[in-house]
Structure 1
């Protein structure tokens, strides 16, 4: 059970953030709201004639369609109306029916009110804001990467101008400048929306209220994320005080009953017992613990860990060229660059997953690498986390696997579910758990904080700070990198900054 007796009222014009720990059921609630899955009990009630848009996981397009063709689908109802007007004009040319001309006039007014004649400008504005123009709007959808497709799906949703938007992690795959643009765009919307994001700064900027999922309960707070979390903290502290006060009263009554139940004051004891039975007992404050990650260190004697000279990486054509940098023992380096520039490709080349195009990579002999890929693709998605870890770590018993998964913040229920049914955050925890079982002295991490809740991010950051080895990572979250990395390598500039 994710939530019980959950009630949520969404008012017109509200910008609501959906928050909760990994696995709390945020994405599931969004799927229930959009009608993709049915609730076990209860119902979702919308006002009549509401238009609702949500991010498409699988893009619908025809062979040869470009990004521009796909984005035009957001205005398909207007293109249909334009075609109807054209047909009516052709009919009027033979009938001279004045009533038909009146209908044409009304439809024409609707088109103009809907900014039909500025569709190309609207597409270019949103595409530019999300960094799609740099890719090329004439690029075929079929040739886009997973991250690029996510951005295209987001662009289409924004162009649809629905009454209600449902946004699940819209900042994934966006650079800082594109996140800033999206924040400004959402803030000026009259539309209502629900947004899930583990980017706290973004959520703080774009929300006017918060629905927090905590221990199977939905609670709505007014204000942005910062204001909501203050209210939540105050509520939790008050509950703690009320609970402790009630427990003292219960302990006092129970002690009296035990002491005098069989003696001369038995009637008084029975009266106290009745008092006890009538008490509406408060639930104990939750004591859930966040996941903890400990990456075991393999001793290394090499001072120079990795060095590249005039390195070029890519596939058929170079994405990045003339990469020259050194990585020394104990350094923590972040790689920076706009989305799609080739940061993930660079990491995969450095660890030998894909071949370099030219140049050299020198890695010291005693370097042992642990690699985290941002992709949530599983060879056997129906395997549970327990099954998968036992396959990749066959020496571990079932009990040991359960223990390490629990330590990483994955509960008993989720560790037994198919991997494909876990939230993005829970899947990331499974992958991080895998890293805790391998000794290394070089951690190579590609967007490890994507999908993670704040508690898990804090736990990961603490672990990386304590790690004795070298860290090379890609992350778009500047607050995560702060007080963690020693230097930042900007791949666009080709130097440390």
Structure 2
């Protein structure tokens, strides 16, 4: 066991006005299974890069251990997998590598295949196996679940559960619950470490948010009461002060010393109330700093003239002689939220493309309502560039609704001025989802929409879908999202 101490860490990228970290301090144990969570763009990957010594910073990071980062940069993916392993870990022991691959359910033959020919899941498992063979290293594992199907996630989560000594960045709640025994969270104004898995951390966060909201409401009432009382007392002191130069009703002269003393006493009381009010306002400013903002939205979906929107009966899709999927049957009716489930490569995306109108070879019966308007979210975000205002205009969507959804998903107003090409992977996926929810469509088709999107935004997207109930066909490997959202599941 050794400790990683971070003290007064302050960092901003060169040329940027945005400070990523300011006087951040925390301590980690290298024996922990540490889950790392936080909104997109808050600095999770940046912190990992700082631990690796990639950037200059103010403050101190002290540790007696070395760090290894996942995913490892593979310079030549055309090399055999065994050569890639040697590049990652030149001193590895062969039988130990075979043991790790066996634990990850990877067959021996992958070692003698080009690394590029492996599936994304196989590549992830091979790199993890090689990295965990490095002794006396603390592993920084950055989003290993992206593009992994549910079966691969279960295998990798079991593997990580048997290990220790790592930071795991993941936005999959079930995955974090299975793997982590501590949570490192980047909040709006702080960085915190808590014992327990993600669910325990989230429960504590909700309790803290509720406590702060209740305290905030109480302080607001106190501030209002003190303000009104201070104003009344101040007015009274001025009225009393005015009587110093007058006479009493009996015609006797007033006691100016007594009245002056009484007015001063009232004014002192007024100042005391103002001071307490200022103190209460200062105390209030410490609250709600880490509560994630949320605003109500009105999203309208078009209503199709028929209840049934599309139907597939024994559909098989082909690319030349290759069969992408076999004998798929299901119907889509208004209000359905259908999850397509199955391993990568089983043809889910092909069926989505067919329904969207792409010309594909298929057998079986496929029917789709005429004039059906579909909003599609693809896995690819590489085409996003330019500003959000022009993007909204070019897609003929309500700019105010589009930006309101993005604000709900933690976009700052400053973000609206930036070029989309500079956005993080998660921020780009949020743009696609916000665009889709802003489009007037009969049905939404989303292909792995949550890749790179942070956990809190996933929950907020769930809230939007449950509140507005659009017709939705989707592929997503986040099991919690599927359980919470899907009204039907189609197994491939």
Does the alignment reach a TM-score above 0.5? yes
Whether the 8 Å CA contact 2:402–2:438 is kept in 1: the answer is no
- Distance (whole Å) between structure 1 residues aligned to residue 302 and residue 475 of structure 2: 21
Structure-2 change in CA distance of 1:159 and 1:351 (3 Å): farther
Structure-2 change in CA distance of 1:155 and 1:412 (3 Å): farther
Whether the 8 Å CA contact 1:293–1:433 is kept in 2: the answer is no
- Distance (whole Å) between structure 1 residues aligned to residue 270 and residue 123 of structure 2: 70
Instruction: For residue 440 of structure 1, report the CA deviation from its aligned partner.
Output: 1.9
Q: Structure 2: state its 5+ residue gaps.
A: 1-18, 239-262
Q: How many residues align?
A: 442
- Distance (whole Å) between structure 2 residues aligned to residue 195 and residue 413 of structure 1: 29
What does residue 121 of structure 1 align with? Answer: 98
Structure-2 change in CA distance of 1:297 and 1:444 (3 Å): same
1:311 to 313, 316, 339: 316
What TM-score comes out, normalization by structure 2 length?
Answer: 0.77
What does residue 173 of structure 1 align with? Answer: 147
Instruction: For residue 433 of structure 1, report the CA deviation from its aligned partner.
Output: 1.2
- Distance (whole Å) between structure 1 residues aligned to residue 310 and residue 80 of structure 2: 43
Instruction: For residue 430 of structure 1, report the CA deviation from its aligned partner.
Output: 0.8
What does residue 22 of structure 2 align with? Answer: 4
SS in 1 for 2:431: helix
What TM-score comes out, normalization by structure 1 length?
Answer: 0.76
What does residue 45 of structure 1 align with? Answer: 62
Instruction: For residue 198 of structure 1, report the CA deviation from its aligned partner.
Output: 1.7
SS in 2 for 1:71: helix
Q: Structure 1: state its 5+ residue gaps.
A: 79-115, 492-497
Greater Cα offset, 236-245 or 24-33: 236-245
Backbone CA RMSD of aligned residues = 3.5
What does residue 335 of structure 1 align with? Answer: 340
What does residue 115 of structure 2 align with? Answer: 141
Structure-2 change in CA distance of 1:118 and 1:442 (3 Å): same
- Distance (whole Å) between structure 2 residues aligned to residue 267 and residue 467 of structure 1: 56
What does residue 179 of structure 2 align with? Answer: 206
Instruction: For residue 301 of structure 1, report the CA deviation from its aligned partner.
Output: 2.3
- Distance (whole Å) between structure 2 residues aligned to residue 267 and residue 304 of structure 1: 74
Greater Cα offset, 16-25 or 301-310: 301-310
Structure-2 change in CA distance of 1:180 and 1:367 (3 Å): same
Judging by fraction of residues, say which structure has more strand. 2
- RCO (CA 8 Å, sep 6+): is it higher in 1 or 2? 1
SS in 1 for 2:444: strand
Whether the 8 Å CA contact 1:335–1:488 is kept in 2: the answer is yes
Whether the 8 Å CA contact 1:59–1:153 is kept in 2: the answer is no
Structure-2 change in CA distance of 1:171 and 1:348 (3 Å): same
Instruction: For residue 346 of structure 1, report the CA deviation from its aligned partner.
Output: 3.1
What does residue 248 of structure 2 align with? Answer: none
Instruction: State whether structure 2 residue 76 is matched by structure 1 residue 61.
Output: yes
SS in 2 for 1:488: strand
Structure-2 change in CA distance of 1:233 and 1:323 (3 Å): closer
Q: For residues 439-484 of structure 1, what are the alpha-carbon distances to aligned partners after superposition, in whole Å with 9 as ceiling and x for unaligned?
A: 2222222122333344433443344446666432212233322254
1:258 to 207, 231, 235: 231
What does residue 157 of structure 1 align with? Answer: 131
Instruction: State whether structure 2 residue 194 is matched by structure 1 residue 221.
Output: yes
What does residue 158 of structure 2 align with? Answer: 184
SS in 2 for 1:345: helix
- Distance (whole Å) between structure 1 residues aligned to residue 416 and residue 175 of structure 2: 30
Instruction: For residue 356 of structure 1, report the CA deviation from its aligned partner.
Output: 2.7
1:30 to 48, 51, 54: 48
Instruction: For residue 361 of structure 1, report the CA deviation from its aligned partner.
Output: 3.7
Question: Rg bigger for which structure?
Answer: 2
Instruction: For residue 16 of structure 1, report the CA deviation from its aligned partner.
Output: 1.7
Whether the 8 Å CA contact 1:371–1:443 is kept in 2: the answer is yes
What does residue 84 of structure 1 align with? Answer: none
Instruction: State whether structure 2 residue 33 is matched by structure 1 residue 15.
Output: yes
- Distance (whole Å) between structure 2 residues aligned to residue 278 and residue 290 of structure 1: 28
Instruction: State whether structure 2 residue 301 is matched by structure 1 residue 296.
Output: yes
Q: For residues 161-185 of structure 1, what are the alpha-carbon distances to aligned partners after superposition, in whole Å with 9 as ceiling and x for unaligned?
A: 5621112222222233332332232
Q: For residues 270-307 of structure 1, what are the alpha-carbon distances to aligned partners after superposition, in whole Å with 9 as ceiling and x for unaligned?
A: 45555566675342424643375836224232636132
Structure-2 change in CA distance of 1:471 and 1:59 (3 Å): same
